[in-house]
């Protein structure tokens, strides 16, 4: 009763986040499985208020399914009943507070919806409503670069300039200065260097590890992406940038960037691909940019 964690266990139990083994035992020194962690974290967001666990044929699979749906696992691939390492738990917690929003349950309609946003916002992602932003002022800036020139995201404690005023309340709607997916726009993030926590490379859109023809790269990326910004016809397009081993390419391309962009019908080898070379292509549809990263390890 005098252990440091007793108060936390009691609080989490009262909030309905944990329930122990169901026979009065909690087992504070026991290991936690993937399904158990998924269930607790889903409940912390407000899920499983509709008696789903009691009605489920397998509570563990139901917990995993819900956690997967809200992107709690990210890139983790964890067996349902595996004992979790501390780093896996930490990543699941981080994803819970940054990739999902708290929800409320409407018992009459049997639906979940964004907390304090009304039923019309039925599970619509808005980063400003995440626990990470609302409780910890956790923000991210997604237009940084790592040592290889790869687009990277820097996380830290800061604020977001939403509209005419800076807010940390998370009350603005998805249509107000957010990406199409409800994320933060880099230009509106206020994050000082002293408050930065970590910088991690973004996930590439395409990766090539061998020489590849231009027309094959073009086919993967599509016509709209392979259209240069401010081209001859003044059509909307993408701004292309390339790095080789961390150094930005000073290309001799014409004003329309043709040297960087693969040709639709060209059988030439795309200049940034080769055998033994890792070529990563990052596409940002919100900012309409393409980054080509060639790395020769």
Per-residue confidence (pLDDT) for residue 23, from 0 to 100:
62
Cα 144 to chain center, whole Å?
Answer: 15
DSSP letter at 128 equals: G
**Residues 6 or more apart from 52 whose CB is under 8 A from it?**
62, 66
| Residue 139 near residue 189, CB atoms below 8 Å | yes
Lookup: tokens for 222: 């599509």
Per-residue confidence (pLDDT) for residue 53, from 0 to 100:
84
What tens digit of pLDDT does each residue of 12-36 get?
666 666 666 666 666 666 788 999 9
pLDDT above 70 covers what percent of the chain? 80
DSSP letter at 238 equals: B
Per-residue confidence (pLDDT) for residue 31, from 0 to 100:
83
For the chain, residues with pLDDT lower than 50 are: 164-170, 174, 252, 254-256
Lookup: tokens for 126: 């808005």
Per-residue confidence (pLDDT) for residue 254, from 0 to 100:
46
């Amino acid at each position: 009763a005098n252990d440091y964690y007793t108060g936390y266990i009691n609080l989490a139990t009262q909030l309905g986040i944990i329930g122990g083994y169901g026979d009065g035992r909690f087992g504070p020194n026991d290991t936690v499985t993937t399904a158990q962690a998924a269930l607790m974290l889903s409940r912390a967001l407000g899920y499983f208020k509709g008696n789903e666990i009691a009605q489920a044929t397998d509570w563990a699979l139901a917990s995993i399914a819900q956690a997967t749906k809200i992107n709690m696992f990210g890139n983790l691939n964890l067996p349902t009943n595996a004992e979790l390492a501390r780093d896996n738990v930490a990543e699941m917690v981080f994803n819970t507070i940054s990739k999902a929003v708290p929800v409320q349950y409407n018992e009459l309609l049997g639906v979940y919806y964004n907390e304090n946003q009304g039923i019309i916002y039925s599970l619509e992602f808005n980063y400003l409503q995440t626990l990470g932003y609302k409780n910890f002022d956790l923000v991210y800036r997604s237009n940084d670069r790592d040592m290889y020139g790869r687009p990277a995201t820097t996380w830290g404690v800061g604020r977001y300039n939403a509209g005419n005023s800076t807010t940390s309340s998370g009350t603005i709607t998805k249509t107000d200065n957010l990406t199409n997916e409800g994320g933060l726009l880099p230009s509106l993030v206020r994050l000082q260097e002293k408050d930065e926590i970590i910088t991690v490379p973004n996930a590439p859109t395409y990766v090539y590890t061998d020489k590849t023809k231009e027309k094959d790269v073009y086919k993967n990326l599509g016509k709209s992406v392979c259209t240069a910004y401010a081209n001859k016809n003044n059509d909307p397009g993408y701004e292309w940038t390339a790095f080789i081993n961390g150094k930005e390419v000073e290309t001799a391309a014409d004003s329309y960037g043709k040297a960087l962009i693969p040709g639709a019908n060209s059988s030439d080898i795309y200049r940034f691909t080769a055998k033994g070379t890792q070529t990563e292509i990052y596409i940002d549809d919100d900012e309409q940019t393409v980054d080509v990263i060639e790395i020769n390890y």
